[in-house]
Amino acid sequence: MKKLALHWKILLGMALGVIVGLLMTLIDGGMQMVQDWIKPFGKIFINSLKLIAIPLILAALIKGVSDLKDISKLSKMGTRTIIIYIMTTVIAVSIGLILVNTIGPGKTISEQTRIEMVENYSGSTQKYQETAIKQKESGPLQALEDLVPSNIFEAATSNRNMLQVIFFAVFFGIALILIPEEKGVTVKKFFDGFNEIILKMVDLIMLASPYGVFALLASLVVESPSIDLFKALGWYAITVVLGLIVMIIIYILIVSLYTKKKPSFFINGISPAQLLAFSTSSSAATLPVTMERVTEHLGVEEEVASFVLPIGATINMDGTSLYQAVAAVFIAQAFGMDLSLSTQLGIIATATLASIGSAAVPGAGMVMLVGVLGYAGIPEAGLALIFAVDRPLDMCRTTVNVTGDAMVSMLVANSVGKLSDPKIKDWDDDYDQ
C-alpha cells in the first residue's frame, strides 16, 4: 500500500486536531489536558521552524546573491520583485475595500454584542495599542533607520528583525560579488554548504509536521471564545475569507497567463506550504517549506527563489493587507461611521506601506491595523470587535501571503529565464522512506 503524501498527512493531522479539540471541550478538564499535554508539542514544532528561519535567510540570500555573479542581474531581479509585490498588495487592499463596502458586515453587529466583546477583549488589545503608539511617535524615516542594524548578531536573535537580516545578507552577498573570485571562493563554498545543511534540517523537521499541526489545531479549538461571538462576526469572517479566495484565484490566473503553467500544477506544487502556513500563521516559519516546494515542484531556480522568497516573507503581505482594509471599514461600520472615498483611498496607501517591514509572525497584522485605524480616525477600541476571530483569519491570510510569494517567484524567474520544468522527484516520498 502506497504511503500517504506529506500534504495529505498534514491535512489529516489538521482534521484530527479539530476533532480532538472539540471532544475535549465536552470533557471536564479537557481544556487543561490539551494545554498541558498536547499544546507543548505544537509550540516545539513552531519553535523548530523559527529556529532555522534566520540561518536559512542568511545562507539562502548570501548564496543566491553571490550566485548571480553580476550586480546588474541583482538590480534587475530586485526591481521586478519589489514592483510586483507592491502591485499585488494594492490589488489585495482594493479587493478588500470593495467587498466590505458591498457586503457591509459591520452593520449586522448589535450594540449589545459590541459592548460585550469590547469588555471581554479590551485587555487583550492593550499590548497592540501600546506597540502601535510607539511606532506612531517615531519619525517619518524610522522605517528606513530600522532597516540597517547596528549589530547583526543582535538583529539575528529575533525573527521580528528579519528585514535587518535580509539587508545584511544582501549587502554581504554584493560585497562577495565585488571582490576577486579567487579571494571569495572559500566563503562562497562555506555558505553553499551551510545552505545545504539548513535544507536538510528542513527535511528532518518536516517529518514531524503532521503531529505539530495536530497539536496546534487541537489547542486552538479548546481555547476559542464562545461560539456566540463567532456567529456575531460571521459576516465579517466571510468577507475576509471571500477576499482571500479572490486573491488565490488572481494568483492562479496570473501564473497561467504569464508562465503558461496549469492551475493544478501551481496548486499541487505549493499546497503543503499553504497547509503549513494555515496551521502556523507565520510566513517566516513556513519559509523553509515554501522554498523547498518552489524550487523542487514549481521549477524556480534556486538563485531566484533564495532571493525572492525571503524578501516576500517580510514585505509581501497581500492577505494581511486585505484583512486590514476589511477590518478597518468593518469596525467603522460597527461604530456607525461612514468613511469617505478619499479616506478609503488613504487606507490603500497606508495598508500597503504598513505591510512592508511587518514581522512575518503571528499577530503582526494586529499591530499594523492600529496604524491604519489611526489614519482613518477609527476608534482603536474597535480592535476588541475582531479579536475573537483574529486567530483563524490570521491562519487564512498567512496562507494567501505564502501563495503570493510563490506566485511572484515564478513570475520573476520566468522574466529572467530561470523558470524550468521541476526536477523529476517526488518530494513527499522523501519523508516516507
Model confidence pLDDT, tens digit, residues 373-418: 766 667 666 666 676 567 778 888 889 999 999 999 999 998 888 8
Among 283, 278, 224, 257, residue whose Cα is nearest residue 57:
283
CATH number of 6-431: 1.10.3860.10
Residue 276 has pLDDT above 50, yes or no: yes
Residue 176 has pLDDT above 80, yes or no: yes
HSE at residue 97, side-chain half, CA atoms within 13 A, is 21
pLDDT, the chain, mean: 78
Q: Amino acid identity of 388?
A: A
What percent of the chain is predicted at pLDDT more than 90?
Answer: 15
- Rounded to whole angstroms, the Cα distance separating 429 from 433 reads 7
Question: Cβ distance 216 to 46 under 8 Å?
Answer: yes
- Rounded to whole angstroms, the Cα distance separating 390 from 181 reads 50
The more confidently predicted of residues 232 and 241 is 241
What percent of the chain is predicted at pLDDT more than 70?
Answer: 74
C-alpha cell of residue 284: 517566516
Among 326, 327, 320, 331, residue whose Cα is nearest residue 378:
331
- What average pLDDT does range 212-227 have in this prediction? 76
C-alpha cell of residue 328: 478597518
What residues does each domain of the chain span?
6-431
- Classify residue 358 by burial, with Cβ atoms within 10 Å: 0-12, 13-18, 19+: buried
Q: Which helix (H) or strand (E) holds 166?
A: helix 162-178
CA 270 to the chain's CA centroid: 14
- Rounded to whole angstroms, the Cα distance separating 96 from 103 reads 11
Q: What is the pLDDT of residues 144-159, one digit of tens each?
A: 777 788 898 888 887 6
- What average pLDDT does range 171-183 have in this prediction? 87
Residue 50 has pLDDT above 80, yes or no: no
Q: Amino acid identity of 40?
A: P
pLDDT of residue 257: 92
Q: Amino acid identity of 426?
A: D
14, 117, 230 from 387: Cα distances, Å: 23, 9, 10
Who's near 340: CB < 8 A, 6+ residues apart? Answer: none
Among all chains, which residue has been given the C-alpha cell 457586503? 103
Q: Amino acid identity of 336?
A: G
- What average pLDDT does range 202-229 have in this prediction? 76
- Taken in order 77, 306, 246, 345, is the CA torsion positive or negative? negative
Q: Which helix (H) or strand (E) holds 101?
A: helix 71-103
H helix and E strand count, the chain: 19, 0
pLDDT of residue 325: 86
Residue 242 has pLDDT above 90, yes or no: yes
